[in-house]
Structure 1
Amino acid sequence: MCVLQAAEIQQLIPNRFPLCYIDQVDELVPDQRIVATKNVTINEDFLQGYFPGRPEMPGTLIVETLAQAASILILKSTQFAQRTAYIGSIRNAIFHKCVRPGARLRLEVELTKVKANMGIVATKASVDGEVVCTVELHFVVQPTVG
């Protein structure tokens, strides 16, 4: 079941095409967790130059996609509404498998710690039930400018 679609996602985070990677939010429990989806298609700009003939989603973009899902969770959380979330640090990024065109990337993010305007999320990306990436993201939330 889809909780948020593309237009609603764009109301929350500043990322736009071609850098908005979240297609939909499937589950959302504010202040706790989110499950979102990224459909990786052969038409992605980044696939044109990343391993031609054997395209795969770059690991850095998997982390960025997880960070975008985390931003949605953070900004839907009670104390951070109407703000902007920024990555403070990336910890323990582990890449287990490649993500190829046609994959439906499932993004799971759990809010593990919050203190003032900072926090930590534990994230996991998977395809067909197999984990492809895990990473801990530290974030800072600031008032929205503009």
Structure 2
Amino acid sequence: MLNVDDIQKIIPHRPPFLLVDRIDELEPGIYGLGVKNVTMNEPYFAGHFPGKAVMPGVIILEALAQTGAIVMLSLKKNEGKIVYFGGMDKVKFRRQVVPGDVLKLEVKIIKDKGNFGVGSAVAYVEDEVAAEAILTFAIM
């Protein structure tokens, strides 16, 4: 398990844009299961939406991407590098994510070709899918 201090040694993201609180499972270059504890203190809730806080879908995708970055940057050969989005495919939002939810972030690397790759990403609240996507990335 990686805590937030360990995570910050792997990826360059920092609050308020660090969107992974811990990693519960990690197979470098292959698989990661992260956790984001969604609280009302998130800065985006001030405007999304007043009176009905809903985590923006793009923020869920970013949390998944950060989990994927941890998976790839945990490889010794990628230490100190940055993972960039290359694209998103088959994005589906299945349920709202609201303050108090614990968002589980699962990323499986399905293609790894040098500095480019593809991950299958699914975000869950309890056992219910909140969002899913195929994420492409570049490591620089």
TM-score tier (shorter): over 0.9
| Contact kept in structure 2, 1:123 and 1:134, CA below 8 Å | yes
For the Cα contact (< 8 Å) 2:10–2:79, is it kept in 1?
A: no
Distance 2:89 2:77 in 1: 24
Task: Give the unaligned 5+ runs of structure 1.
Answer: none
Q: TM-score, normalization: structure 1?
A: 0.92
Question: Does structure 1 residue 59 correspond to structure 2 residue 57?
Answer: yes
1:50-95 per-residue CA deviation (whole Å, 9 max, x = no partner) reads 0111101000100000000010001013542332111111111100
Correspondences of 1:44-83 after superposition (within 5 Å): 44-83=42-81
Partner amino acid, structure 2, of 1:66? L
- Name the TM-score, length of structure 2 as normaliser: 0.96
Aligned CA RMSD, in angstroms, stands at 1.0
User: 1:119 and 1:17 mapped to 2: Cα distance?
Assistant: 26
| CA-CA distance at 1:38 after TM superposition | 0.1
- Matched residues in 1 for 2:82 and 2:34: separation? 19
Alpha-carbon deviation of 1:30? 1.3
Q: Which runs of structure 2 are paired with 1:1-146 in the superposition (5 Å)?
A: 3-142=1-140
Identity of aligned residues (%): 37
Q: Report if the CA contact (8 A) 1:111-1:121 is conserved.
A: yes
1:31–1:78 contact (8 Å) kept in structure 2:
no
